[in-house]
Every structure is written in structure tokens, then in C-alpha cells.
Amino acid sequence: MWKAVEAKVGQFGRLNGWMNRILRVDLSEMSVTAHESVPYVPAFLGARGLAARICWEDIPEPVDPFHPANPLMIFAGALTGSNSPYSGRTSVCAFSPQGYPHPWFTRSNVGGYFGAKLKQAGYDGIVITGAADGPVHLCVRDDWVSIRPADELWGLDTAETLDHLAATEGRSMRAMVIGPAGERLSRIATIHTASSSACGQGGFGAVMGAKRLKAITVDGSARVTLARPSTTASITRALVRAFEQDGVTGPLNFYGDIREFDRNLVAEGNGRASCRACTHACITPCAAYLSDVPGYVHDRKWSGSWVCVGTLFRGFDPDDTSTLRSIYAWQLARRAAFELNVLSNRYGLNQFDIIVGMVPWLMASQKAGLISDINGYPMDWQSPRFWAHLLKAIAYRIGIGDCLAEGGWAAAQQLGMGLDLVRQRYPGWGYTSHCDGREGSRVTFPFWLVSALQWMSDTRDPFNSGHGYLWTQGANERAAALADPSERAAALTRIRVIGERVYGSADAVDPYSGYRGKAQAGHYQVLRSAIKDCVSVDAHFPLIHRDSAPDGYWRLRDIDGVGDIEGPSIEYHLFSAGTGVDWSEDEFNLAAQRVCTLERALQVRHWGRSRAVDEMILPYFEEPELNQSPLLDRRHGLDREQFDSVVSEFYGLHGWDVNSGQPTHESLVEYGLEDPHAIRYVQRSDSMD
């Protein structure tokens, strides 16, 4: 066995917020270097923006996701590691194994504590290229960086790997690891940093697997300083007060009151439940952590977090009459569903692709008589043992699992099975349905028109940081439920006033507005997604609609050094107070546009992305929505002729040519991205089939 490589890297003058150091690791050369972040900040904000700029400089041609040259980039936000509220998330960027029809350079996002510890070790990010000859573990402790053999880790699942590292490296460290799916280059393999904190979308676990990189650990002793900590603390206190008033803080999560949930588990003899924060600097913990839950399939007890899409392993509620019942048409006992959640996390599999996309496609194909078993095991969706068999087959590429490990969309193409059925679950780019009016999220016309703009202009499912517009759906539903016509009219008026204030158009939020105003909302959402990933902040943001406020609008009062802050401006004020950058809010938003335009320019340079490519996604939205708005008289599908002008307006707001969808020369100059050799206009005939 070869000896570990160890190097000490130098420091540079630190900044407020940023640590002004980026670590570079080449696993082929076994080399370690570092350079300053200053060339990239504040212009590209942080995290996702820094990764895009480095790709712009370093990667003139597209790279196969499994090629050693694919740069795996792990970047913390500008404020991550500090006490700025909700700042703990981390971006992971690379050319994506899951991407289709191209393996776009894209991003995933993860909570937990890895990013905070990375900043405390003195780094804004890590760029990893090359591929090792055997399994390796990258260890970062302040200025010291080592690349070690990891043969003893290879073959372990994610939980076993995290436990082993905690025992050998100390419990103060934080880690990112892969499981069996990543080792076997599954295109839906995840990277885990806790029991359920994972880079779920993108297939980046397979990028680590191709590099033979089993684990990355970080530990550090530095402090992330803020320029105006009193302002940050004042914003935090105001948020805590506001959420307490609204009943958001406390022991509440996906299951309601966690104390009642715990009592029920204890009474059933099925373990314990507690509420935990899943991300550094979170002030409203909402993650359910279950301990000592007896297995249904395996004779042992399981512990771990159970959040978000993982809760859908239970299937439909027997009292649920919504479209969810038709999509998630199974019903499993709670402890069985929790065990499947744990198993999929341990394998390192993308729960979203499996539960929301692959399984509904397999069920529809089974109903159509196209498939009846998985490797000889009859397809019984009410059987936890069948589910466990399916997950293991995917993770270890057993039999048909070898094909399913490519993800639901790619598996359907390879098998040539149920192609019409899989199109009902996958809007495009290799990712399954999410907040688009088709997957049971209750998004209805006209609000999914904004979802369509987000989907068509992105490189992946856009909703890891793009949920912010969905307040319109809930607010209008609550207004529609008011029996008194005058109360309903007043509620709808309040919503329209907020739409005018935030998006510059009351039509952006009006349920009767059709296609009007949706370009402005779509443009706003794309920028806010970049802001959330770059700063970073968590799912609550942007804070726009607040039921308890008389006018329905979010505000924070009497912030130290600032005064009153409108909800949508909180991210700007956190960034300003944290970094000390003397920008106006318009300049801050301009930086977000710079990041979005840079990402678009990368897609043009690598694959000639165009309006024609974007529009390949639209047939999915032309099908009738699953749910009908309570304020409208029918279900809608996308009208291509009406939507055409919305797309043109959306491109224009971004500074992209309305015909090609590509950044104009003027916009490149405006955002400091002008480079006559940077963009090649590649002619391609792409297909989503």
C-alpha cells in the first residue's frame, strides 16, 4: 500500500465572511495547492457562483462526468460557518452524471455541518480533479491536507463510513462520503454528510466514485468573522420572535408536534423521536430524528433522520383523496417506511428520483403489462421486503438494477420500456417532476407557468433552492376557502399588492391573470435561487408572505444599524452585514444575475444551448395539470402560442437574446464576462428522447 501524501498550505489575508482560500487537490498527481478567493469575490458572491467562475476559467471544453478532469467542487456560502441565520448549506458542483441530454455542469446543495467546518478550517471551497489508483480519503485539518489510502472504507455504506471516520478522526470533524451506489457509479448516487443530509440530485456520488474518493473529512479551529455582527444578531433575534409568533419554532416538523410523535412511537414499542436542526446556524429545527426503531425487513434497530421526500416511502394516507393517492399508490407501515428511508440513505441513493420518478414509472409499466418482477421477485408495492430487494438491486447493480442505477429516465430509454409513461414523470434534463403541476404538489394554473420557466432555463430540477414562489399557491388557496365573498376579495387584493411590490406586477400572483406577469416572477425566482445557494440561506427564504401580518407581508422591525427591513431584502442585509461589502441592493441583485448569466454562458460554450433546447421541455407542460385551481373552472395545459411571448420577456429580463436564448454581447460586457474566445456557438440537433 502506498504512503499517505501530506502537505501544508499557506494562508492568505482573511476577509469578513469569506476565508480567502480555495484548496486544489489533484488525485492523479497526488498534489495539493491553494490560492486566494479574492479574484472571485464579491463579484460572484460565493459557493455556486465561485464554482461557475472557476469552471469558466478552467474548462473550455465539456468533460465526461467520469473523466478524471471533471472538477468536483465543494463550496460553502459567503456566510457559512458564521452565526448568520440559516447560512449552513453547501454547494457541490461538477459535470453531472444524471444530466440529460447533456451532462451539464450543474450543482447540488446539502445541509448539515460540513460547509461550516470547511470554512472554520480556513477554506471557501475545494476543487478536486484527477482520479486515484485506489480508494482514498481526503483529510483537511486547518492548514494540513493529506490524501490517505481508504481500502478499509471501500465497501462500507454511508452510515458505516461516517461512524468509522468519527471513531478514527474525532467527533469534531465533519465528513462527506459515498456508499455502494457511488462506488458503482450509479448516476443517481448521492454524497452524504449525515444520516439524511445529502447532495441528492446530480449523481455526484458517482463523480466521487469515479475518482476513487470514498470520503472527505474537514476539521478546523478558525473563526468566520462578520463585518457588523450586531446587525446580524439583531436580524436573528427578529426572525426568532417572528417565527415564534407564527408557531414555526419549537418541536415542530414534517409530523407536526414531535412530542406527540415520540409518545406514539414509545406506545407502539417502535423507538423514540426527537427534533434536530439539520443545518448549521438553523434557528428553527424541523428534522425528525428517530432512534431504535425495530426493522421490518432486517432483524435490528435503526436510527437516523427522516425528512422531506423520504417520508413518501409510506405512500398515500388512506384518508387522502388528492392526486397524491394515485401517484404514490402504496401504503406501508411507519416503521417499514422508516427502514426503507434508512436503507436508501445508507446505500447512497437519490430518494427523489426513486420515489417520485422511477417507482411511479415502474408501477405504470407493471399495470400496462410491460414488467412483472425485479430479478424474479414479484413486484408487490405493499411489501416492504420487495422494496428492500429493489433498493439493494439498484445500489449494487444486480440484474435489472444495473439499468435502474442509471436513474428512472435513462433506465426507460435503455430498456425501451414505458417511454410514454416515463415522460409523464420527467419534465427534462434527466430529473423527475417537482413543483410543476404534475407530481402531486398541488401547484395549479397559472402558477406552474413560473415553474415551467425555471425548468426550461435550468440544468436540473430547479427546486432545491427555488421554492420561493410557491407561497402564491397557498395564499390563493386560503383566500379561495373563505366563504364570505368580501373577505375573499380582500384577501386576493392583499396578495395582488404583494405581487406588485415584489415582482413589479400584480398579475404575477393573480389566479385569474393567465400568462401575464409570469416572466417577472420567473426571472425573480431564478435570481433568488442563485442568491440562496451563494450566500447561503435555507428553505424559508425569500420571506414574502406572512399570514399573521395585517397586509400579509413580511417585515422585520428596528434592526440594529438598519431600521426596518422588508422580508425579501433580508438576504441582502445579511450579506452586507456579514461581508461588509458596500453594495446597494440593486448591485447585490446584479451579482446574482452575473452568476446566472455565467452559468448560461457555460452551457452555450459547452453545448450550444439555445431557445430550441430549452423548448424541448415544453411538451411535458402541455399535458393537462393534475389539480384544478379552486378559483378556475377547468384544468389547464400550457398554451405554446401564449407562452412564447412570456419566454421572450423572460429572456429579455436576463439580458439573453430572445431568439437564441443566449447571453448577448452587451450583457456579457455589463457583467464583466466579455471574452471573444469564451463562447462557441455550437450547432446541435438535440433530442429529449
Structurally, what CATH architecture does the domain formed by 5-219 represent?
Answer: 4-Layer Sandwich (3.60)
Q: Where are the alpha helices (DSSP H) in 177-245?
A: 180-183, 204-210, 229-245
**How many angstroms separate the CA atoms of 188 and 206, rounded?**
8
For domain 250-283+285-422, is the CATH number 3.20.20.220?
Answer: no
What's the pLDDT at 683? 37
**How many angstroms separate the CA atoms of 363 and 568, rounded?**
42
pLDDT tens column, 261-288? 899 899 988 999 998 888 999 998 888 8
Averaged pLDDT of the chain = 93
What's the pLDDT at 216? 98
Residue segments in the chain with a per-residue pLDDT below the cut of 70: 1, 248-256, 320-325, 439-441, 674-689
What's the pLDDT at 673? 82
What's the pLDDT at 674? 67
pLDDT tens column, 566-581? 999 999 999 999 999 9
**How many angstroms separate the CA atoms of 126 and 15, rounded?**
18
- Cβ pair 379, 362 in contact under 8 A: yes
Integer-rounded Cα Rg, in Å, for the chain is 24
Q: Which residue has the cell 417532476?
A: 433
CA proximity to 277, closest of 359, 395, 214, 196: 196
Which 3 state secondary structure label does DSSP give 628? coil
Entry pTM: 0.95
What's the pLDDT at 99? 96
Domain segments of the chain as ranges: 5-219, 250-283+285-422
What's the pLDDT at 284? 87
What's the pLDDT at 329? 85
Cα angle 351-542-111, degrees, rounded to a multiple of 5: 35
**How many angstroms separate the CA atoms of 163 and 63, rounded?**
34
Residue 310 gets which letter from DSSP?
G
